[in-house]
Amino acid sequence: MAERAKALTFSEATSAEVFAERFPAGGEGNLPRLIAAAVSHVHDLIKQFRPTQDEWRKVIAFLTEVGHASDERRQEWVLLSDLIGASALVEEINCRRPKTATPNTIRGPFFRSDAPERASGASISLDGIGEPLMVSARVQDLDGLPISGAEAITWQANAEGYYENQQPDLQPEHNLRGLFRTDADGRFHYRSVMPSGYGVPDDGPVGRLLAEAGYPLHRPAHLHFVIRAKGFETITTHIYDASDLHLAEDALFGVRPELVVCFEPAEIDGKRARAVNLTFVMVRTKPGRAG
């Protein structure tokens, strides 16, 4: 009993081990190990930098502020995960696909699950502000065969770099959002406006902290997509404007060469516009794995 008590004594040298030993032996799953490993890294940082009590309280205050800044319209915790590359790393580990398939990127903090369904060819720009854009897309499998009835959710920032849920008093509800379904040839198209690149929000605790540290908070201009189809892995991805000057420093680590495209000059209803043609390549779901 004395030996066991000694083994459980908390000290600077044994702090992480003492924490890990309190999990039940032989537990199933990765959760206990993941928590123990995360705590071990936190303890290592504390031992390395040796913060004062006041400095540690500031860390706790920051995490508390992140929680207070999260609500049904804004998810500051997602933003934190995105900006430190954690979200991108999880996607990279879990969504390895053949080179010819469309790669996954992170969903980002401004996704809404209630995007309204719209008819192919409709406009998602409800206020009509910005340079017109025509988006045409085809969804296909690895063999180039069309996937009909696929669900395509899209959302984007406006011409000033703001999402609708960032400006609920300035933009119409569900502006620049829509859900489309592919036809028999796997195609859908819609009208929008050219998105603008933007700085990651710095009006919350995460943006303020990283900006103060001199970290680049740029996002190149892009369109978001989630593509779903029965029997296929869901695609969550971005399409980036090849002319944007900040492609090399995307704050959310989403840029891949195959996701960078040219938005070509075009004419829509007699007005100067842009047009982009996209192809999304889906991978069939592996047995026993959800799409």
| pLDDT digit string, tens, across residues 103-115 | 999 888 789 999 9
Residue 5: per-residue pLDDT: 46
Domain architecture of the chain: domains with CATH: 2-50 (no CATH), 76-282 (2.60.130.10)
pLDDT band at 291 (very low <50, low <70, confident <90, very high): low
Q: What is the pLDDT of residues 48-64, one digit of tens each?
A: 999 999 999 999 999 99
Residue 183: per-residue pLDDT: 98
Mean pLDDT of all residues in the chain?
91
Residue 161: per-residue pLDDT: 95
- Are the beta carbons of 111 and 120 closer than 8 angstroms? no
Residue 1: per-residue pLDDT: 42
Q: What's at 106, amino acid-wise?
A: I
**What is the rounded average pLDDT of the residues 2-11?**
61
Quick one: which of 284, 173, 192 has its CA closest to 239? 192
Residue 290: per-residue pLDDT: 56
**What is the rounded average pLDDT of the residues 201-211?**
87
Distances (CA, A) of 237 to 107, 153, 241: 7, 11, 14
Reply yes or no on whether the pLDDT at 100 is more than 80: yes
Residue 2: per-residue pLDDT: 46
Q: Which residue in this structure is represented by tokens 């009590």?
A: 53
**What is the rounded average pLDDT of the residues 159-165?**
95
Sequence-ordered alpha helix ranges (H) in 50-170: 53-68, 76-83, 86-94
Percent of the chain at pLDDT exceeding 70: 95
pLDDT band at 213 (very low <50, low <70, confident <90, very high): confident
Q: What is the pLDDT of residues 240-270, one digit of tens each?
A: 999 999 999 899 899 999 999 999 999 988 8
- Are the beta carbons of 163 and 157 closer than 8 angstroms? yes
Residue 245: per-residue pLDDT: 93
- Are the beta carbons of 149 and 181 closer than 8 angstroms? yes
